[in-house]
C-alpha cells in the first residue's frame, strides 16, 4: 500500500438535508488516519435554504449562479476559520444526481473557492466515476474503511449514514486495501431525514423533528410502508444510489395522515428500508454504527434496534463525531485524489474497476 507524507487536510460537506456546511480537519497520507482535528459548522439561513430547495434538480446547463453564490459563500465562511491547511476537500451541494442518465451535479466551483481561500482545493469528486459508468455515490466508504482500521475493529462492521438520504457501508477490516473486492459493500438504503424534514418545514416551519419526539406520538401506516417497499429500487442489486427526491411518492402517500402519524410512517419507512438493505451484506456485522443527523432521532434509533439483529449504536460509541464523518471523508478523499489513489470501487459505486477522481485547483505539491 502507498505510504507518504502526512497532510493536514480540511474536508467539507453540505448534504441532502440542506441544513448547512460541516467542516473538519483530518491528518492523513490518504491511506491511514493519523489524527482528527478541529471542526466547525455554518448553518444555512432560511433564505439560503429556500434558494437551495428552489434549485434542486437543476443542472450545470441551467442558470445556477444564484445558488452557486450561496454554496460558495457558506463554504468560504466556515473554511476561512481554519489555519495551517495544506489541502481542502470541497464537495459542493448536490442539486441533481442521475447516474446512467444526465450525470451528477455538485454545485459550486472549487477553483473560485481555492482562489478566495488561498488554499489548494480538491473538488468535483463524483463526475469521473459517473462518466466511467459508476453510480458516483456513496463516496465515503473508502473513509469508512480507514475508520474501521482507526477503531481497530476485528470483525465486520457497518456504518449507516442517516442524512437526507440513507446509505450503508459494510466493512471487513481484515482486508488491507479498500479496493480489495472483499473489503467493502456500499449503497444507498432509501430516504432518511429529507422527507421528515420537508414535512415539518411545510407544516410548522421547523427544520427537523427534535429527538424524533413528534414521530414517537404517531402511529405508522403499515400499508403505506408495505407499498413503499415495493418500489423497484429495493429489488436492484447493490451497489446503487439515489437522488434526494427519488421517493416523492412516499411523501405524497402520507399527506392524508395526521402530522404525527405521517412522521411515524416516514420513520418506519426509513428503518424498514435499512433492514432490507442489511440483507444484502456479505456477512452479518458485529455492530452497526449510525452517523448523520438521524442518530439524534430516538424514534429512528429505537426502530433500528427493533428490526436489526446486530447491536446498533451512534458512532460516538467508537469515540467519533457523527456530525463530521462525511466532512472528514472529503478531507481524506482530497488527499487520495491529489495522489491519484482510488476513490471508489466496483463494490462501492458499481464502477468496472477502482478509479480515482476529483480536480485540484491551486498549488499542492505531493510529498512522501
344-360 per-position pLDDT tens digit: 999 999 999 999 999 99
Higher pLDDT, 252 or 242: 252
**Predicted pLDDT of residue 64:** 95
pLDDT per residue as tens digits for the range 257-314? 999 999 999 999 999 999 999 999 999 999 999 998 999 999 999 999 999 999 999 9
Task: Report H helices in 205-258.
Answer: 213-217, 222-228, 248-253
Q: Does 362 score more than 80 pLDDT?
A: yes
pLDDT per residue as tens digits for the range 127-140? 999 999 999 988 99
Mean pLDDT of 338-343: 96
What does DSSP assign to residue 234? G
State the pTM of this model: 0.92
Q: Does 3 score more than 80 pLDDT?
A: no
Mean pLDDT of 88-116: 95
Average per-residue pLDDT for the chain:
95
Mean pLDDT of 83-88: 97
Residues 6+ apart with CB under 8 A from 225: 265, 268, 269, 272
**Predicted pLDDT of residue 243:** 76
Residues 6+ apart with CB under 8 A from 321: 24, 36, 39, 315
Rounded-to-integer distance, Cα 342 and Cα 336, Å:
7
Res. 368 pLDDT band, cuts 50 70 90 = very low
Task: Delineate the domains of the chain, giving CATH numbers in brackets.
Answer: 7-134+330-343+353-361 (3.30.420.40), 152-318 (3.30.420.40)
**Whole-angstrom distance between the N-terminal and C-terminal Cα of the chain?**
13
Neighbours of 115 (CB within 10 A): 14
Res. 367 pLDDT band, cuts 50 70 90 = low
Rounded-to-integer distance, Cα 176 and Cα 192, Å:
31
Cell 460541516 locates to 22
Rounded-to-integer distance, Cα 108 and Cα 229, Å:
34
Amino acid at each position: 500500500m502507498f505510504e507518504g507524507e502526512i497532510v493536514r487536510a480540511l474536508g467539507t460537506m453540505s448534504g441532502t438535508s440542506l441544513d448547512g456546511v460541516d467542516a473538519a480537519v483530518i491528518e492523513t497520507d490518504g491511506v491511514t488516519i493519523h489524527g482528527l482535528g478541529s471542526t466547525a459548522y455554518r448553518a444555512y439561513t432560511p433564505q439560503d435554504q429556500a434558494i437551495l430547495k428552489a434549485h434542486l434538480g437543476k443542472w450545470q446547463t441551467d442558470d445556477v449562479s444564484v445558488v452557486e453564490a450561496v454554496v460558495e459563500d457558506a463554504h468560504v465562511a466556515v473554511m476561512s476559520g481554519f489555519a495551517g491547511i495544506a489541502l481542502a476537500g470541497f464537495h459542493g451541494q448536490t442539486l441533481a444526481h442521475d447516474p446512467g442518465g444526465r450525470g451528477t451535479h455538485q454545485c459550486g466551483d472549487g477553483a473560485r473557492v481555492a482562489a478566495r481561500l488561498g488554499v489548494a482545493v480538491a473538488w468535483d469528486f463524483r463526475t469521473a466515476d459517473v462518466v466511467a459508468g459508476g453510480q458516483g455515490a456513496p463516496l465515503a466508504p473508502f473513509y469508512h474503511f480507514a475508520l474501521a482500521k482507526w477503531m481497530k475493529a476485528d470483525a465486520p462492521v457497518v456504518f449507516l449514514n442517516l442524512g437526507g438520504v440513507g446509505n450503508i457501508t459494510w466493512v471487513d477490516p481484515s482486508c488491507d486495501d479498500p479496493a480489495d473486492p472483499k473489503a467493502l459493500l456500499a449503497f444507498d438504503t432509501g430516504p432518511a431525514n429529507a422527507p421528515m424534514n420537508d414535512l415539518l418545514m411545510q407544516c410548522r416551519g421547523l427544520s427537523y423533528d427534535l429527538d424524533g419526539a413528534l414521530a414517537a406520538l404517531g402511529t405508522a401506516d403499515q400499508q403505506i410502508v408495505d407499498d413503499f417497499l415495493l418500489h423497484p429500487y429495493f429489488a436492484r442489486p447493490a451497489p446503487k444510489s439515489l437522488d434526494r427526491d427519488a421517493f416523492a411518492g412516499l411523501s405524497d402517500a402520507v399527506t392524508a395522515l395526521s402530522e404525527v402519524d405521517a412522521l411515524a410512517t416516514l420513520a418506519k419507512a426509513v428503518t424498514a428500508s435499512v433492514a432490507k438493505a442489511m440483507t444484502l451484506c456479505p456477512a452479518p456485522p458485529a455492530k452497526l454504527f449510525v452517523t448523520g443527523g438521524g442518530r439524534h432521532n430516538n424514534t429512528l434509533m429505537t426502530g433500528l434496534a427493533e428490526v436489526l439483529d446486530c447491536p446498533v449504536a451512534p458512532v460516538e460509541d467508537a469515540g467519533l463525531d457523527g456530525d463530521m464523518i462525511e466532512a472528514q471523508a472529503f478531507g481524506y478523499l482530497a488527499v487520495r485524489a491529489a495522489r491519484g489513489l482510488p476513490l471508489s470501487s466496483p463494490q462501492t459505486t458499481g464502477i468496472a474497476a477502482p478509479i480515482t477522481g476529483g480536480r485540484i485547483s491551486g498549488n499542492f505539491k505531493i510529498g512522501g
